[in-house]
Amino acid sequence: MIYADNAATTKMSEAAINTMISVMNDNYGNPSSLYSFGQRAKEILEGARVEVAALIGAADPREIIFTSGGSEADNQAIMSAAALGKKNGKMHIVSTAFEHHAVLHTLERLKKEGFEITLLDVHEDGLVLPEEVKEAIRVDTALVTVMYANNEIGTVQPIREIGAICREKNVLFHTDAVQAIGHLPINVSEDNIDMLSASAHKFHGPKGVGFLYAKKGIKLTNIIEGGAQEKGRRAGTENVPGIAAMATALKEACASMKENAEALTKHRDRLITALNEIPHSALNGDAHKRLPGNVNFCFEGIEGESLLLLLDDKGIQASSGSACTSGSLDPSHVLLAIGRVHDVAHGSLRLSIGEDMSDEDVEYIIKSVKEVVEYLRGFSPVWRDLMAGKTPFIL
């Protein structure tokens, strides 16, 4: 099996699994309990908070709020900024057209509550222009939220510049860094970030756990009401084993970030060069300003789901932005946002490779993708019409 869907989720690291098991076995107490056994769990929890804060350059561990994952963190960041804005008569939010649905759907909800949403263009290369952020900010802007790296096409946004603009304009800045944390060097202080969302299972931690970084002084609105956990900002008994494992995984990922990125970039660039040789194909998103492990292509004349199923038969797990894989009639909003028309957006393939990939794996993927694309084109009426000149090639 060649797992090339690390943007969907990653394999847990052995160290993270060991941390999780040891906490479950030996420290299963409730951190809110006053006896020493409970307080030991509390120590583990707070230790993880200190570690995570340090790894992302947060000034104070209290700026870290543990959540159930990236979606919850996105929801809480945006809803909090909206509540603060509303209080001050600021009912405008700036974001981008290719955010994750955890952001886009939250913004849609706010739209129904009277907020005005500006979604910035991400252009053909999948990159937000800082000057366009600047132009979009108004006196009544409550929040700018731009993802650190896109989950489908992997393009890395100029976060530091956008953050600087927001600081200058005195507007809150949130970034969904779910795909970037543990893979790219992030420092919330240097990157001018006010709020940041992260999810453990994207960097070899467990599923169902993540965190929100919120700079000191930002009043958060609860998404989950109840007990006084997380200083009253997120109720519910803390997922101590998951949180501890997340800290272990993040520490590991940050420690080996440079060599991981180098190895992945080499594989990524080999894949991009080789898949570009397939006629009438195109890389989605900028070739260089992208995550080290992300490759995303459109192949004209074929449909993504059948491509994935045949790759699965060859032992390769990947992903696609075709309508059939999304359960709706529209292909990926990300591909549409970078200007891919429906016809070619249906034929997309995302390979998100992991650190364990070998040179042989990469060559096998290239050979397999070429075979499958050629096979599917062999009985595609769309491809026949393109080849016969009845319809013009798009790519």
Partner 1 sequence: MALYSEKVMDHFRNPRNVGVIEDANGIGEVGNAKCGDIMKMYLKIEDDIIKDVKFETFGCGSAIASSSMATELIKGKPVSDAMKLTNKAVAEALDGLPDYKMHCSVLAEEAIRSALEDYEKRAEKTAQ
Rounded (5°) CA angle 175-257-181:
20
- The residue within the footprint of partner 1, chosen from 4, 346, 350, 395 (CB under 8 A), is 346
Angle at 97 between CA 195 and CA 295, to 5 degrees: 90
Q: Which span (14-22, 107-115, 132-140, 339-347) binds partner 1, by CB under 8 A?
A: 339-347
Smallest distance from the beta carbon of 345 to partner 1, in angstroms? Answer: 9
User: Contact between 329 and partner 1 (CB under 8 A)?
Assistant: yes
Clarify whether 254 is annotated catalytic: no
Does 303 contact partner 1 by CB under 8 A? Answer: yes
Spell out where 257-387 has E strands: 281-283, 294-299, 316-317, 348-352
Contact 27, 240 (CB under 8 A): yes
Q: Which of 89, 217, 327, 389 binds partner 1 (CB under 8 A)?
A: 327
392 binds partner 1 (CB under 8 A): no
384 binds partner 1 (CB under 8 A): yes
Nearer to partner 1, 38 or 339 (CB): 339
CB of 307 to partner 1, least distance (A): 9
Torsions phi, psi of 176, nearest 5? -85, 105
Q: Which is nearer to partner 1, 59 or 309 (CB)?
A: 309
Taking the complex as a whole, the smallest distance from the CB of residue 344 to partner 1 amounts, in Å, to: 9
Shortest distance, position 374 Cβ to partner 1, whole Å: 14
297 vs 213: CA distance, rounded Å: 33
Residue choice 7, 56, 271, 323 for contact with partner 1 (CB under 8 A): 323
- Segment near partner 1 (CB under 8 A); pick from 34-42, 128-136, 262-270, 297-305: 297-305
Give least dist CB 310 to partner 1, A.
8
CB-based contact 145:326 (threshold 8 Å): no
Min separation Cβ 382 and partner 1, Å? 4
Q: Which of 342, 356, 371, 393 binds partner 1 (CB under 8 A)?
A: 342
CA nearest to 228, candidates 42, 25, 26, 58: 42
Q: Of the two residues 89 and 392, which places its CB atom closer to partner 1 in the complex? A: 392
Catalytic residue among 166, 254, 298, 324: 324
With CB under 8 A as the contact rule, the residue among 309, 356, 359, 393 that binds partner 1 is 309
Stretch that binds partner 1, among 244-252, 260-268, 278-286, 324-332 (CB under 8 A): 324-332
Instruction: Enumerate residues 6+ apart whose C-beta is below 8 A from 137.
Output: 94, 144, 165, 166, 169, 171
Q: Which residues, listed in sequence order, are joined to residue 213 by a DSSP beta bridge?
A: 64, 196
Nearer to partner 1, 228 or 329 (CB): 329
Its sign, for the CA torsion 219, 220, 226, 231, is negative
Please name which of 245, 232, 238, 233 lies closest in space to residue 38, comparing C-alpha atoms: 238
When the beta carbons of 239 and 325 are compared against partner 1, the nearer one is 325
User: Which residues neighbour 332 within 8 Å (Cβ) at sequence distance 6 or greater?
Assistant: 152, 321, 322, 326, 345, 348
Q: How far is CA 325 from CA 71, 99, 252, 309, 391, in A?
A: 20, 18, 33, 11, 26
Chain residues that interact with partner 1, rule: CB under 8 A: 301-306, 309-310, 313, 322-324, 327, 329, 331, 341-343, 346, 379-384
> What is the set of active-site residues?
324
